[in-house]
Chain A
Amino acid sequence: MALQLFKYPFTAMGSPCEIQLYAASVSDAAAVAQSIIHDIERLESKYSRYRPDSFLAEINRAAAKARKIAIDDETASLLHYAQTCYEQSDGLFDISSGVLRKLWDFKQSDAMRIPNPEHIQRVLQYVGWDKVRWTSSSLAFSAKNMELDFGGIVKEYAADRAASIAYAMKLKYGIVNLGGDIRVIGPHPDGSPWRIGVQDPRHKNAVLKVVALEHGAMASSGDYERCIQINGQRYSHILNPQTGFPVNYLAAVTVTSDLCVLAGSASTIAMLKADQGMAWLSDLGLPHLWVTVDGKMGGDLVDI
């Protein structure tokens, strides 16, 4: 039977998601889609910040009291990845920085004011990967009131796992889109690439650039909707764990890579690097595109 395209839209991790699969039959496609969605739901229920019954919530209850907690292999490898990002970003990519969101309410940009410096300094005491001790089986915190957030990693990780699940089930043409974090399983059956639009951060419904991908992944960081303006200065929603301030140089970064988790963390690190982000991306060597808060655009994906 020739292959046909099946689409499975769903919502997970707070984002609209879609799986598109080429399969010989509805039963083949449904089995693969179900396995992928099942795995995504597993990761969401394990690492959600919002669910009190998640393992992350359990970690954060331990973090609040500076207690030690036992962890499984998957969590340990995510911590290892987070640590690598922390090291490679000179401490800017920090999964303990989520607590800073308490200072900045991005949903109320009209009434946004800069928090007072003492308040920022107080909250910064609870931030810092260097206050976290972990091994392959346990995690401990040397300060109270800390919080971890795998938000910048798990969705991308889920997209990569989705592709592996498809391969294991002998499906090789398709694409997974988890709220804009994209992992290509394989090209269209005729070998042609998927054409993926990069959203213009300044115009919600405009496409900045169409990227053709036969394999690999694309992830973006920053978006126009969550940019805020304070005293005429534009800020993105990404928070610098060293200053406690949102970054205010790049509005959006898109990176392509073999792995979605790599594209995702590279784009986030570039955002955090602010005015050095463009140079960092060039050094890194992955295809990328950046847009600054004042509308300048660059990166090697622009010229393709």
Chain B
Amino acid sequence: MAVIKRNKSALSTLSLAALALPGVMASAADSDQYSVDTLFSRYSESQNRMKIDAYQASAYLPLTDTLNFRVNGVKDVVTGASPVTYYPAAGKAKMIMSGASIADVRDAVDISASYTNNLGQFGVDVGRSSENDYNSSFFNIDSKFDFNQKNTTLALGYGFASDNVWAIDHCPPHCEGMVGNEGKYRRSGVGGDKQNHQGLIGITQLLDKHSFVQANLTYSYSGGYLSDPYKAVYAPWVTEPYPNYADSGFMHDTRPGEKHQIAFLTRYVRHFSNLNSAALHLDYRYYADTWNIGAHTFELSWNQPIVDHWSITPKFRYYSQNAAEFYQPYYTSQRTDGFYSSDYRLARFGSVSGGVQIEKQFFSKLSVGFAIDFYKRDYSYSINGGAGSPVDNFTFSILSANINYKF
């Protein structure tokens, strides 16, 4: 090393050596990059009920410093069976499943744009989702404004969805009156249109450099056909045969034609700089609607960056709801309001779920994540009241893997 060279260009020689230092060569152009995300998740319920494989891909396209676009596509493949209705047997509800007859594919695509200026941030999202028995078109607009020296952020949003729902039967086996019509046909007498309007007002307040609180109030109105066309209720006074069962004593799920809903979310987030930038999220959500369902959700998560760009996030969630006013596992007498539903989602129940997500980043370009979640629903976990039945106790798991790549 005693030889002292004199290069023509000291600057280029020094620059090359400086750029060879690890972690020095990066530019701001990398900061707002085009990126793609892909996600696969498998949802599977216990007792060979429903299974959903979801494939999602999205692309983030920053056009300028202030304007960016996102395109998102989802394909869900649904297979398995789900409860259709219940009937009393020895004083207990007995479930009738749909058989392994569900085989549906949902395709959804949405495009969103977001614009930021000194006043705040404005976004719009437009999309469409279609299945062989459900179509939905929707749009959302949202905005965020900072004030109080940017210690406070106000969020306002509005969303609209127009949906059309019906039931598809397969022939065989359900070929009653379907002479010569093999394959799929649309069941008559059920289905229809529905609309949903949703408004959101939210406020985020910085408490200090490490923590903030957030409160969101959401109001939704749904009107139209809000029943589930595949679900039936046990109604022993009904004399005409129920479609597909050639049996009397059942009727279609029949719910009110409108529903008002409110939800109030409060969230506390705190970062711990002395714990390698770990973050605590605490959420509580209260929900109530005019079908008399009330629900509480508590959620807790802890994001812990470990070494070498690995991070681990354990989560815990508790949920409790009471039954809709008109819900019964089965009916023994007629209701004066004419509303009947035995859909387990309207029952009294509680659930606990927990999971863990692990993420690893490679070279600041690629990040790969895996998550596993377990959910257990139980009639007795509810702290709320109303009708329900242990027949609807079940568990499910979600396994998911995601990849994000920045160009």
Q: Which residues of A contact B (CB under 8 A)?
A: 1-2, 4, 6, 25-27, 29-31, 34-35, 38, 73-74, 77-78, 80-81, 83-88, 90-91, 129-130, 132-133, 157, 160-161, 163-168, 170-172, 185-186, 215, 258-259, 261-262, 265-266, 283-286
Contacts and interface: CB of A to CB of B under 8 A. Distances in A.
A186 B208 CA distance: 25
A284 B11 contact: yes
A81 B21 contact: yes
Q: A interface, by DSSP: helix, strand, loop or mixed?
A: helix
A33 to B, nearest CB: 8
A27 B23 contact: no
Contacts of B210: 26, 30
A161 B23 contact: yes
Given A1-B146, A30-B273, A88-B10, A160 B24 contact: yes
Interface string B247-261: 000000000000000
A6 B2 contact: no
Interface of B: 1-2, 4-7, 10-11, 13-28, 30-32, 116-121, 144, 146, 150, 153, 204, 206, 208-212, 269, 271, 273, 276-277, 279, 364
Given A85-B17, A86-B1, 6 more contacts: A25-B206, A30-B209, A84-B13, A161-B22, A284-B10, A286-B11
Given A30-B271, A164-B24, A259-B24, A81 B18 contact: yes
B10 A283 contact: yes
Nearest to B210: A30
Given A80-B20, A87-B5, A157-B21, A164 B26 contact: yes
Contacts, number: 140
Contact of A164 (B5, B23, B204): B23
A262 B28 contact: no
Contacts of A84: 13-14, 16-17
A265 B15 CA distance: 11
Contacts of B20: 77, 80-81
Nearest to B279: A27
Nearest to B149: A4
Contacts of B7: 87-88
Contacts of B1: 83, 86, 129-130, 132-133
Shortest beta-carbon contacts, A-B, top 5:
A168-B364, A84-B17, A164-B26, A172-B31, A4-B150
Contact of A261 (B18, B30, B118, B279): B18
B212 A25 contact: yes
Contact of A262 (B18, B26, B120, B269): B18
B277 A31 contact: yes
A73 B22 contact: yes
Contacts of A165: 23
Nearest to A130: B2
Contacts of B25: 164
Contacts of B276: 34, 38
